Amino acid sequence: MTHLRARVALHPDFRVGPIDRRLFGSFVEHLGRAVYTGIYEPGHPTADEHGFRRDVAELTHELGVTMLRYPGGNFVSNYVWEDGVGPVEDRKPFLDLAWRTVEPNTVGTDEFLRWAEREGIEPMMAVNLGTRGVAAAAALVEYCNGEAGTRWADLRIANGRAEPYGVRLWCLGNEMDGPWQIGHKDAHEYGKLAAEAGKAMKLVDPSISLVVCGSSSMQMDTFGEWEQTVLSYTYDLVDHISMHAYYEELAGDRASFLGSGTAMDRFIDRVVASADAVGAARRSDKRITISFDEWNVWYLQSRFPGETNLPVQRDAPRIIEDVYSALDAVVVGDLLVTLLNHADRVPVAALAQLVNVIAPIMTEPDGEAWRQPTFHPFATTARLARGEVLDVRVEVPTTPTRAHGDVPLVTAAATHDPATGAVALFLTNRSAEPVDVDVDHLGLSIDLTEGWRMVADHEAAVEGPAHARKVLDACWSAVDVASTTRSSGAGAARTTVTLDPESWTALSGTLSHA
């Protein structure tokens, strides 16, 4: 049988840039069951002495998460952080306007930061620039990072935490371009507020890094203009601009869904171009990088009724608990390929979210925790991608799609760790046919020893751990490297990999000079 063919050329002398481990971040928002019965459930059989579920923490480590964004998301734009610190028995529940949920206020800044510290995960904190502003943002930085002898640092100490938390990464609000956002602002209003809040925050702690809000998606009417206007106020102050993007299969358009990584790639290129245009106009040598701090497959249009249609609920309601298929997992793997290939401009990213809410990890109250199909490509990429991303060149046929125009049938990313010689190759076959990929590595020898593959299914996803295990058994498997790859060419300078239809594959081994 004759397969479609693609060619990938790689060499460790040609690099995109080093992999920032914060690329493998995730997100915990006070939304649905992300916090309560997600990461936190006192009385659960695995709960630690602080009430946090050990089963979830262990899966978080297995997932490879390095960083967590908190406390939102839309939630942050109505959040009074001072109400969520101090003795829990003194805290009052309040109505979160973003998700129309009564927030019990049991978990707040201290509980989250202490949990992240115990688990060795870097926190990424967001400040409320929706209903609040400069003073509250600066106070939160002082509370988290200040030394003894000032008002907010002394409050932290009185609440039982003597040492500063040392939070380094801060979001200046969330999706402020979105009309759904509590306290929504236009680009000029937000740009001015973000500049003043960021200035005050850095006066409290000059060592922090700031993320300014970019567009909530490439489909926003203000996209592009928003980035340039906001950065015209904040360029010299901030380090990163945020990007958010979610993808889903619509109206059975499988080809467009499988091509979602191409849409992400174009989105990143356009945001980079907008940021660099502002820098060029300012004659600045500074380069703004991207915090892609919300990305995932989310069936937003086809399954979610919208925030305003949610009834007021309490007790951690089940909101946005998408159940994922192997097809969704292939797309997640392909989106990771795109993020790796932009490692020079995307040092920070967060899969939204970690637990229960459009998440790779699901739980039942007082019950088990399990991995969704999307868990596996993320965990495998986080484990294998080390060192630097190589600048691979891909020659491959394209196919037309309704949503994205022509997209490549195969995508590829490769990483190499010069210290160990470890190499990893990540490949997506978007075609419904097998593809033979010729990987050319002239003058080099590649010894592949491990591989994993997710093959898309054609079944509707079903809620619960039994379905997740069924997908795992049917669609996720170790690769028999010997039968899947073969070497050829002078000095074995070519390795051919056969990819299953609609699949994501990760291969790893060592690379050395032939």
Task: Out of 29, 41, 122, 175, pick the active-site residue.
Answer: 175
Helix (H, G, I), strand (E, B) or coil at 340: helix
Q: Which residue has the tokens 């901030």?
A: 238
Tokens of 365: 């109250």
How many CB atoms sit inside 10 A of residue 381's CB?
25
Amino acid at 464: G
Question: Is 294 tagged catalytic?
Answer: yes
| Sign of the dihedral defined by the CA atoms of residues 52, 54, 57, 63, in that order | negative
Q: Kindly report the three-state secondary structure assignment for every residue of 63-107.
A: HCCCEEEECCCHHHHHCCHHHHCCCHHHCCCEEECCCCEEECCCC
On whether the CB atoms of residues 107 and 64 are closer than 8 A, the answer is no
Active site residue 225: no
Annotate 343-386 with three-state secondary structure.
Answer: CCCCCEEEECCCECCCCCEEECCCCCEEECCCHHHHHHHHHHCC
The CA distance from 407 to 102, in Å, is 44
Using an 8 Å Cβ cutoff, are 228 and 272 in contact? no
Q: Collapsing DSSP states into helix, strand and coil, what is residue 323?
A: coil
How many other CB atoms are there within 10 angstroms of residue 466's CB atom? 9
For residues 127 and 116, what is the distance between their CA atoms, to the nearest angstrom?
A: 18
* 138-to-134, 171, 205, 443, 467 alpha-carbon distances in Å: 6, 12, 9, 55, 46
Which letter does DSSP use for residue 309 in this model? G
310 neighbors 261 (Cβ within 8 angstroms): no
Q: How many Å apart are CA 17 and CA 389, to the nearest integer?
A: 6
Please identify which of the residues 29, 294, 388, 502 carries the catalytic annotation. Answer: 294
Measuring CA to CA, which residue among 426, 428, 386, 414 is closest to residue 260?
428
Residues recognised as catalytic: 175, 294
